[in-house]
Amino acid sequence: METMDMIKKQKKELRKVIKERIALLSVDECQASDALLYERVLALPEFKNANTIFCYVGAEGEINTLPILQEILVAGKIPAVPKCISKGVMDAYPIRSLTELQPGKYGILEPISSGPPIEPANIDLCFVPCLTCSKDGKRLGYGGGYYDRYLTRADFFKIALCRASLLVDDLPVEKHDVRMDLVITDCD
C-alpha cells in the first residue's frame, strides 16, 4: 500500500511533467482546443439545464473559459466565479459582466464583488480547472487544495475541462481528492 508521502511525491512529479507538456503547446493548438471545448460545453445537457454555474477563469496555459462565462451571461444564467479569500480558501461570487473581473492575489482574474458570495448549495454546475485528469474523473490540480476544499461544501455536478493531450490513464489520489462527475476534452 502506498503511503501518503509516496502519493504526494508522485503528484509533485506528475505536476512537473504536465507543466512541461503545457509549456510545449503552441498558441494555435490551445486556441483550437479551447474552441472545441467551448462547443462541447454548450452542447451539454448539464450546461443547458443549469441556472447557476460556477466557472473558473483560465490563467496562462489553462483553457480559456472567458467565452464560456460570456455564454453563461448571454443565456441569462448566473455565473459564479472563484475568488481567493485566504490561503486554501475560496468562495464563488456572481458577476454581471466580464468587466467585473480583475487580477487577484495570484494574477488570476477574480470578481470585484463587494456583495455576498453564492452559497455552494445554490450552484447547479461547476467547471473545475486541472493540470491533468483521468477519464474516470480523477483530477490533479495545482496543489493548493482550493477546489478540493470548496467541492466538499455542496453536491453539484462537477466537470473538469482538460486538453486530451494532457489526459493520463490513472492518477495517484489522496482521501481528500474530489472526483469529477465528468471530464470534457477536445477529442472523443
- Compute the distance between CA of residue 110 and CA of residue 20 in angstroms, rounded to an integer: 26
Structural domains for the chain: 4-184 (3.40.50.10420)
pLDDT at 2: 65
pLDDT at 154: 85
SS (HEC) of the chain: CCCHHHHHHHHHHHHHHHHHHHHHCCHHHHHHHHHHHHHHHHHCHHHHHCCEEEECCCCCCCCCCHHHHHHHHHCCCEEEEEEEEECCEEEEEECCCHHHEEECCCCCEEECCCCCCECHHHCCEEEECCCEEECCCCEECCCCCHHHHHHCCCCCEEEEECCHHHCECCCCCCCCCCCCCEEECCCC
pLDDT at 114: 72
pLDDT in single tens digits along all 188 residues of the chain: 568 789 889 999 999 999 999 999 999 999 999 999 999 999 999 999 999 999 999 988 899 999 999 999 999 999 999 999 888 889 999 999 999 999 987 889 999 977 899 999 999 999 999 999 999 999 999 888 899 899 998 899 999 999 999 999 999 888 889 999 999 999 86
